[in-house]
Amino acid sequence: MNHLIPPFDAYRVFVEPWTINLSQTLLMTSIALIVALSAALIGNYLVLRRMSMLGDAISHSALPGIVIAFLVSGSRDSFALTIGALVAGIVTTVLIEFIHRRSIVKVDAAIGIVFSMLFALGVLLIELAPHTDLDPDCVLFGQLEWLGVHASSDPMKALFASSQFQLLFGVFILTAALNLTFFKELLVSSFDPLLAGAQGFRPTLIHYSMMCMLSLVVVSAFEAVGAILVIAMLILPAATAYLLTNRLRTMITLSITHAVISTIGGIHLAVWLDCPASACMVIAGTFFFCIAWFIHTRPSRQVDDTQETESLTSSAESELAPQ
């Protein structure tokens, strides 16, 4: 039993990563941060639009896309696989919309059916295709540590040269840029699709572009954190921030803060417990969520739920008012 949790050694946990293993820690932290930040940015809108589970769905249903891209291109080139996964993600979104708009099936059941079917298809394809040299563990479980192993003489240079980092960085820049450019559109359409429509924005277009963005983020985050834990990167920061504020701007800032501190905390936790870093980042994030939850449910802060929703909506409108 004593072997279960390694003894806490402050020097080993806090100092060593930044002195002896500096280059590896830097590599891991930068990749983890970029993934966590892009996920947190888009996660805000997922939570507000009540579509959190879509992240989970897309991350699972990307598998057949990856397998088909692999079979078509015949290479494990990460660009081709990303395209495949992206297409699969978009197909998932369209199928979910189609099923739930064209029948009485509710959206949650539609999500569940579509992604489990696509995932089953992916597994079957791997089995049926001869000599598919695909390793599901690199799709389903992150290998943040593995990325660090590549650290050679000049780790930062190697990092910027690796195609995976370029992809992640590109996705992050794109997410951040879209967030800044279309902040107003995203704000209005998330809180009040009707108002957005009336103001001449196109809610459907915004929805589908967001889904494309989500697919990109999820797919690019795969290799680093894995398909199952990426949903935590999406939701935890946003959910934590949502408990603490009524304004979208503050919420985004808070979620970014949450992403940063849970990434760094998680990496130290991983060093302490000697566990996978992605899982530890999620645990750290959960811990911070629990703190926010505790603050939120303190008796003094207990406000009527409907009142809060109203104030949130009206704040959305007041943010719009000047323009």
Partner 1 sequence: MTPKFRHSPPFLALLIFMFAMPSEAHAAKISELVEVDLGDQFVRFFSLQDAAIRHILLGCLFMGINFGLLGSFVVVRRMALVGDTLSHAVLPGVAVGFLFTMSKEPWAILLGATMAGLLGAATVSWIQRSTRLKQDAALGMVLASFFAVGICLIKMIERIPSVNRSGLDHFFYGQAAALGRADLWMMGGTAVLSTIIVVLLYRPLLATSFDQVFARSIGLPERMLFHLLMLLLALAIVVALQAVGALMVSAMLITPATTAFLLTKRMHVMLCLATGLAIAAGMLGAFLSFVGEGLVSHTLPTGPSMALCAGGFFLLAFLFSPHHGLVSRYRRHLSQTRQITVENTLKAIYRAMESDRFKEEGIAVRRLAGDARETFEETMKRLRLLVRDGLATFASARGEVIYLTPEGLQHASRVVRNHRLWELYLTNEADYDADHVHADAEKVEHILGEDQVMELERYLDYPEQDPHGKRIPSLRDTQRLPLRDLAVKEEEVEP
Per CB under 8 A, 243 contacts partner 1: yes
126 or 316, CB closer to partner 1? 126
First to last CA, the chain: 62
**Integer Cα distance of 68 and 219 in angstroms:** 15
Per CB under 8 A, 250 contacts partner 1: no
Per CB under 8 A, 276 contacts partner 1: yes
Determine which residue in the list 89, 279, 288, 315 makes contact with partner 1, applying CB under 8 A.
279
> What are the tokens at 148?
């660090």
Per CB under 8 A, 106 contacts partner 1: yes
Per CB under 8 A, 289 contacts partner 1: yes
- Binding part of the chain for partner 1, among 33-41, 100-108, 147-155, 252-260 by CB under 8 A, reads 100-108
Per CB under 8 A, 282 contacts partner 1: yes
- Binding part of the chain for partner 1, among 17-25, 169-177, 256-264, 278-286 by CB under 8 A, reads 278-286
Determine which residue in the list 229, 241, 254, 264 makes contact with partner 1, applying CB under 8 A.
229
Give the count of residues interacting with partner 1 (CB under 8 A): 68
SS3 of the chain: the string is CCCCCCCCCHHHHHHHHHHCCHHHHHHHHHHHHHHHHHHHHHHHHHHHCCCCHHHHHHHHHHHHHHHHHHHHHCCCCHHHHHHHHHHHHHHHHHHHHHHHHHCCCCHHHHHHHHHHHHHHHHHHHHHHCCCCCCCHHHHHCCCHHHHHHCCCCCHHHHHHHCHHHHHHHHHHHHHHHHHHHCHHHHHHHHHCHHHHHHCCCCHHHHHHHHHHHHHHHHHHHHHHHCCCCHHHHHHHHHHHHHHHCCCHHHHHHHHHHHHHHHHHHHHHHHHHHCCCHHHHHHHHHHHHHHHHHHHHHCHHHCCCHHHHHHHHHHHHHHHHCCC
Site string for partner 1, 56-95 (x = CB under 8 A): x---------------------------------------
Determine which residue in the list 13, 26, 53, 167 makes contact with partner 1, applying CB under 8 A.
53
Per CB under 8 A, 127 contacts partner 1: yes
Determine which residue in the list 15, 124, 156, 177 makes contact with partner 1, applying CB under 8 A.
124
Site string for partner 1, 33-52 (x = CB under 8 A): --------------x--xxx
35 or 159, CB closer to partner 1? 35
Nearest to 42 by CA among 316, 243, 256: 256
Q: Give contact residues for partner 1 (rule: CB under 8 A).
A: 1, 3-5, 47, 50-53, 55-56, 99, 102-106, 108-109, 111-113, 116-117, 119-121, 123-124, 126-128, 132, 134-137, 140-141, 228-229, 231-232, 234-236, 238-239, 242-243, 273-276, 278-280, 282-283, 285-286, 289, 293, 296-297, 305, 308-309
